Structure 1
Amino acid sequence: MNILAIAATGAHAQQTNVEVIANNIANISTTGFKRSRAEFSDLLYQSLRAQGVPNQTTDGTIPEGARLGVGTQVTAIRNVHKQGSLTQTGNEFDLAIVGRGWFQITGPNDEILYTRAGSFNKNENGQLVTLEGYVIESPVAEIPDDTVQVTINEAGQVFALRGGQGEPEELGQINIASFVNDVGLEPLGGNLFRETLTSGAPIVGVPGAPGFGTIKQNYLESSNVDPVKEITELISAQRAYEMNSKVIQAGDEMLATVSKGIR
């Protein structure tokens, strides 16, 4: 009897589904967070009766046969790279990308990493850095100590208005990267992603160019988690888990009945 094993695969898959939903809800306030979705597929089928073989009269063949599925499995946990809503912060170093693109960050061991969380600040050297202190990978000069205002336009150009000057000074350009397959990026935690073979190589360009989003200063991109949708999917996953549990219980009772009959 395969009923217990089949139902067990369904319960395990729904448990993973609930864990994915729990992670989404936990990050509902995480800047630039992209929700995940569990993808399922059926397992191999067990052939109980072959199709296409001759029947007893030899005048025809069995049209359908019988194939029994043996359960389900989680085949992927996909990141949904949908634009999150923008939140105005009033901080001149907060940046949001509207449209496609990723900020490039120089991570540990000088590895180039990617993020949508534009919560930047300046370090002791006047460089634009993340909250963890990683420097943004763009040709931007250090922000002078006497700077009274920093302006970053939609094309990523950085200007600094220094004390005693009437005109702002251009410091450089913030470029962003785009990928053929954003879903293929590897999430590392800390709002950072890494390039992989499935994501393809990064295509670096100027914000606002064809295929690239624009930069919005004084804004942050919020998480794209929809609370109502997550709660709805959580209830659905709970019900599916309960049904698989009921099937396990029914299978156990059936086995108990058979066992008593043998005795």
Structure 2
Amino acid sequence: MMESLESFLRDIGPVYAALLATVFTWLVTALGASMVFFFKDLNRAWQDIMLGFTGGVMLAASFWSLLAPAIEYSEQLYPGMSWMPAAVGFLGGSLFIFGLDKLAPHLHINFEESEKEGVKTTWHRTTLLILAITIHNIPEGLAVGVLFGAAANGAEGVTLTAAITLAFGIGLQNFPEGFAVAMPLRRLNISRFKSFWYGQMSAIVEPVAGVIGALAVVYIEPALPFALAFAAGAMIYVVVEEVIPETQRDKNTDVAVLGLIVGFVVMMVLDVGLG
């Protein structure tokens, strides 16, 4: 089955493949958000565990799916300086999300309204929560798109299987993430349908970022290792600045860390075993 999927994605080209893969991750987010129709509330401990799992998947993907191939491919393009594209790209991705974090008004899931970040605004708490998760999802879509573009360019250490595996891993963590986004909205007395709608819409940015990432590396091959590291830096910044702090604000810190470790191991096994 994997061979048939690879053949199909290879035939349609990297940009369309990236689009389909990120539409898949978006739909999994929607599936997770749809759980708001079946549950009245989400225990805070489970919410922290799911967010921890999300962080673990993103951490593992950042290294095995993005940074390691960036360094390996750089040995061909930049002999003697294979560290440079990874370092520059990683810093660039981190600073990109840092800039969005400072400019875009948003509010993290478990934070009080007085702790909202970005430029001052009178926007409603719901809007700020959705914007926070939207920023979170940009590097995920970008990572999937860049990896499909890298596979199409025949980058050393990157295969179409690895790109499919990353998309599957991102989708896997998007399910609990979608639930973890929709349920706090429901607790704000928003209707079930609106909670689901806003929850799934937070991931609509993933297909956009995925297509941009694929286009960038397909048409500008020397930028490929920079783009891989850029996506890694963006994801690490999100994990450290947003995901981990959100899981450490209640009494569930230990189980949240275990969730992160499980997510890390699951993504590592997927990437090393399949990619």
TM-score over 0.5 (shorter chain): no
Larger strand fraction of residues: 1
| Higher fraction of helix | 2
Structure 1 length as normaliser, TM-score?
Answer: 0.26
Whose relative contact order is higher, 1 or 2, with alpha carbons under 8 Å and at least 6 apart?
Answer: 2
